[in-house]
Structure 1
């Protein structure tokens, strides 16, 4: 009996080790196909910025640019393609969660509590958006951030709908993967809340490095706040709403304000 019990315990230990190993590989693969790759790309871009011998404030980071200048219908097709394919990693995460008996609903990405999610998201967006704008203007003024041009799209009828779609895509991709999925998997791997928060926040800041030091720091802080709120509410949906609203205001608002108001850099 003792021998059988020891063998059973040994098999369980081996299974746990294998499960953790699989989860680690899974996390790396998901990040390599999504925002981990974006972080590496942003780092390379930022290296180019630093070695260009030009002040950061004199350089521009474009978030949404034209993909077929002078050909609006082809441009629209490319924009739609980019939005749809960017969300494939979210579908992959949903599949991986389902294999373990979970779902995106486990992360709080659903419509169960729409009114509260919208209210919380709007409140977070107002606070974070105002603070973020103030920080960005300060960062550009002191020369630690590039001038961000949110959108360089033609003045076609689809410009605003595409910008809204991009805002929603960014929010869903980032909050589902970096906030919900990543912290969930790290918790299953035994990471503490502080460690999970640090990993998520640093990753979020890293793939915004193309905007300069200011973009990194601002998103690092935002990442920490979002992790705290996610832990408190147990749902990513309010943060998806908040992120979407922040990006809609940034993308659409800046499109019509840059060059027309003196306090907003660019133009």
Structure 2
């Protein structure tokens, strides 16, 4: 950050200067030039780039690369996509690594909320503004459960259709154990994915894209395609399912102004998928 420009030279008489000596630091000048970081539009694009670069944007790039590699080598139909695999042969270090991964994944969420708030003191305000609170528990849970049922059935149907057409990888949602601590970790992973995706892709990205001049249809399509892109490692079927999910979720957010129903629905989708994936996707 650049420093403020120097104050203009003191043109007062020595007597006037002596009379006010020791007091000019007590009050800020009425008008002070602010450091220039470029136009507001550039600042907003930089915020978008930074948040996506440390979260779902990076995941999208890796996912596209993974799909391209599979498509040109083994083929999508014969490939496997594995989630929640063990991170160490030692159970203790496996748990520690997974906990650290989950905790660090929340950093981009805090960054996105901080950019939306503009200051640390306004974080609570922006959390309430986007509906990431517990002020409407019954409507949030009811809508979240409904979205879970509809999107869950649709996702399962697209997965099975994709497998039959050879455009979807065989999905393993839990490559770890079934011990009680692994179940807790899977639930924590589900919470991680739901918060990261809904706060960043819906609340943050929609706000910033609208501010840089995108129309609502552009935001709707752009965020939905982004959501699908970072699921491409699973194949075409799940990616298409997530595009539809992105369209529906952002439409719901625009109508309700609350992110919590989307977080609940996403958490339920992932939690059930992670804990009962072998039964659904086997």
TM-score category (smaller protein):
0.7 to 0.9
Check whether the contact 1:136–1:145 (CA below 8 A) recurs between aligned residues: yes
Q: 1:188 aligns with which of 199, 211, 227?
A: 211
Aligned residue in 2 for 1:64: 84
Pick aligned residue for 1:237 from 235, 241, 260: 260
The CA deviation at 1:265 is 4.7
**Structural mapping, 1:122-133, within 5 Å:** 122-133=145-156
Q: Relative to total residues, which structure has the larger helix share, 1 or 2?
A: 1
State the shift of 1:18 in Å.
Answer: 1.0
Structure 2 matches for 1:30-45, cutoff 5 A?
30-45=51-66
Gaps of 5+ in 2: 1-35
Q: CA deviation at 1:46?
A: 0.9
Q: For the residues of structure 2 that align with 1:265 and 1:196, how far apart are their CA atoms?
A: 32
Q: Aligned runs of 1:159-198 on 2, under 5 Å? A: 159-198=182-221
What 5-or-longer segments of structure 1 have no aligned partner?
1-14, 258-263
Does residue 211 (structure 1) correspond to residue 252 (structure 2)? The answer is no
Aligned equivalent of 2:102, options 83, 90, 96: 83
**What is the CA–CA distance in structure 2 between the aligned matches of 1:110 and 1:48, rounded to whole Å?**
41
Aligned residues: 243
1:20-75 per-position Cα deviation (integer Å, ceiling 9, x unaligned)? 110111111110111100100101111111111x3322211011111013x11111
Equivalent pair of 2:154/2:241 in contact (CA under 8 Å): no
Contact 2:113 2:204 in 1 (8 A): no
CA distance in 1, matches of 2:141, 2:175: 29
The separation in 2 between residues aligned to 1:74 and 1:227, in whole angstroms, is: 38
* Residue 166 of structure 2, aligned match among 138, 143, 147: 143
Contact 1:72 1:156 in 2 (8 A): no
Runs of 4+ in 1 over 3 A off after TM superposition: none
* TM-score (norm: length of structure 1): 0.87
Q: Distance in 1 between matches of 2:84 and 2:165?
A: 25
CA distance in 2, matches of 1:105, 1:185: 18
Cα deviation code 1:135-171 (max 9, x no counterpart): 1111111101001100100233211111111011100
3-state DSSP class of the match of 2:173? strand
Length-normalised TM-score, structure 2: 0.82
Hey, what does 1:47 align to over in structure 2?
Answer: 68
Return the alpha-carbon distance in structure 2 between the equivalents of residues 73 and 157 of structure 1: 13
CA distance in 2, matches of 1:105, 1:89: 19
Q: Distance in 1 between matches of 2:135 and 2:213?
A: 29
> After the TM superposition, which of the residue ranges 17-26 and 218-227 deviates more from structure 2?
17-26
1: CA distance, partners of 2:44 / 2:189: 30
Structure number, greater radius of gyration: 2
Contact 1:107 1:181 in 2 (8 A): no
